[in-house]
Chains A and B, each alone.
Chain A
């Protein structure tokens, strides 16, 4: 496996100390790779992303960024989080700040970058996702899809090594799903390293370099999207794909 940027070794996580939600996960993603994680609800996919962004403590195992294990020091944690972007399911923009303020806040106060420079970059990114004219608007005046695009820009401007997307279209109206996924597809084309949790199977097929099927806290299957969607190896994966009314023959 080439140069792994983010890696977990034996990652185990439980909420009550007894029943692990994630069991001994060995995972690795290379620079520029897009990994899509799918699986039934409650299988631990969101928890996995939350562990990767250090929002959850892990019981055992290790997370390595560019080969280096993450320290437990507060400074290390903040440094690490800077490099791992995360976009959540619920539109999580800061409601008391305008779109532009939302985006430039972290680069200015965390990365100590110059405000003018950040402003310029923010405007460029906003233009790319078609939100430039909304830069001075408050989040509540945006549609769900617009909020989510702004949230992606907010993560992007930190120049993350890896971007984690946690069911970012799950709370959107169907007609807004497309505009958000389009942005993600473009990022994938540009070589952004991403770990994506999603229920949009067509999107998964289009964007993924690799699909991981997570079931019951374990990696049940790990394949290219073609292989996974055409002939899933495990019964569990077959069953799961059937619940999406998937006609495997039609792909």
Chain B
């Protein structure tokens, strides 16, 4: 394909660029909601697990396994085609957001957990031996240190979730992938459409990637890093 007809139809690309911008807007919006939601769900799940709240603890564990071990596209199908059978009809947009939160929540919960596990136990013990309660210890001693170690994992999760949005077209959401497939189907401009798709994702993801590295560096040199040996 590339060999016989390398010249790209730039006119075509310019003509349809606006469609990609619109689609990118949608992708970004849904990603933003999904990521914020996933962060909240992850934090709640992690708190439930950490505090070992009786029944909820089991539910959270089941949720995490279910969410991590099924593909997003299946989760979306379930929301989009399965839920209406139970009388719950969701728009493609809602499906996208909920699906992303459902998937991301477990990853975020595990990111929090990694951070918490990385805090040496003696930190907990010295807080307790100063008379602090479990809650005070968790909020003031564990969480601040955990977040610092979790930042790289959070950033990786954010990028992962944005990339996962590429399956949204399966539930008729007019995202980047959807527009691309549309253009290919209508005009057979496969090369142009795919190139624009790649460029769109890069434009969205590269800045996020750079910002992540910058945050990671800041956190690493924030003046405390990890404890342990000298």
A113 at the interface (CB under 8 A from B): no
Q: Interface readout for A20-64 with B: 1 if CB under 8 Å, 0 if not?
A: 000000000000000000000000000000000111000000000
Task: State which of B122, B129, B224 has its C-beta within 8 Å of the C-beta of A81.
Answer: B129
- A159 to B224 CA separation, bound complex (whole angstroms): 28
Say whether A94 contacts B130, CB under 8 Å. Answer: no
Report chain B residues within 8 Å CB of A109: 132, 136, 140
Say whether B122 contacts A106, CB under 8 Å. Answer: no
**Least CB separation from A110: chain B residue:** B131
- A167 to B131 CA separation, bound complex (whole angstroms): 21
Say whether A95 contacts B224, CB under 8 Å. Answer: yes
Q: Interface readout for A131-159 with B: 1 if CB under 8 Å, 0 if not?
A: 00000001110011000000100110010
- Given A109-B136, A109-B140, A92–B126 Cβ distance below 8 Å? yes
**Least CB separation from B147: chain A residue:** A96
- Given A95-B226, A138-B223, A86–B136 Cβ distance below 8 Å? no
Say whether B129 contacts A79, CB under 8 Å. Answer: no
Shortest B200–chain A CB gap in Å is 39
**Least CB separation from A173: chain B residue:** B230
Task: State which of B120, B122, B131, B223 has its C-beta within 8 Å of the C-beta of A82.
Answer: B131
Say whether A139 contacts B136, CB under 8 Å. Answer: no
The interface size bin for chain A is 20 to 34
- Pick the most buried of A55, A85, A111: most chain B CB atoms within 10 A of its CB: A55
Say whether A84 contacts B130, CB under 8 Å. Answer: no
B128 at the interface (CB under 8 A from A): yes
Say whether A91 contacts B129, CB under 8 Å. Answer: no
Say whether A139 contacts B224, CB under 8 Å. Answer: yes
Report chain B residues within 8 Å CB of A78: 131-133
A90 at the interface (CB under 8 A from B): yes
Shortest B13–chain A CB gap in Å is 50
Say whether A138 contacts B131, CB under 8 Å. Answer: no
A105 at the interface (CB under 8 A from B): yes
Shortest B51–chain A CB gap in Å is 14
Say whether A110 contacts B136, CB under 8 Å. Answer: yes
A88 at the interface (CB under 8 A from B): yes
B82 at the interface (CB under 8 A from A): no
Report chain A residues within 8 Å CB of B228: 90
B148 at the interface (CB under 8 A from A): yes
- Given A92-B122, A138-B223, A144-B230, A110–B144 Cβ distance below 8 Å? no
B70 at the interface (CB under 8 A from A): no
- A95 to B224 CA separation, bound complex (whole angstroms): 5
- A86 to B226 CA separation, bound complex (whole angstroms): 22
Shortest B109–chain A CB gap in Å is 22
Q: Interface readout for B134-154 with A: 1 if CB under 8 Å, 0 if not?
A: 001000110011001000000
Say whether B129 contacts A53, CB under 8 Å. Answer: yes
- A81 to B196 CA separation, bound complex (whole angstroms): 64
- A87 to B51 CA separation, bound complex (whole angstroms): 26
B87 at the interface (CB under 8 A from A): no
Report chain A residues within 8 Å CB of B129: 53, 55, 81, 84-86, 155
Say whether A88 contacts B125, CB under 8 Å. Answer: yes
Q: Which 7 residue pairs of A and B lie closest in terms of their CB atoms, listed nearest first?
A: A82-B131, A106-B130, A86-B129, A95-B224, A92-B126, A110-B131, A81-B131
Q: Given known contacts A74-B133, A81-B128, A155-B130, what 10 new A-B pairs fall within 8 Å (CB)?
A: A82-B130, A90-B227, A92-B125, A95-B145, A95-B225, A96-B144, A105-B130, A109-B140, A139-B224, A154-B130
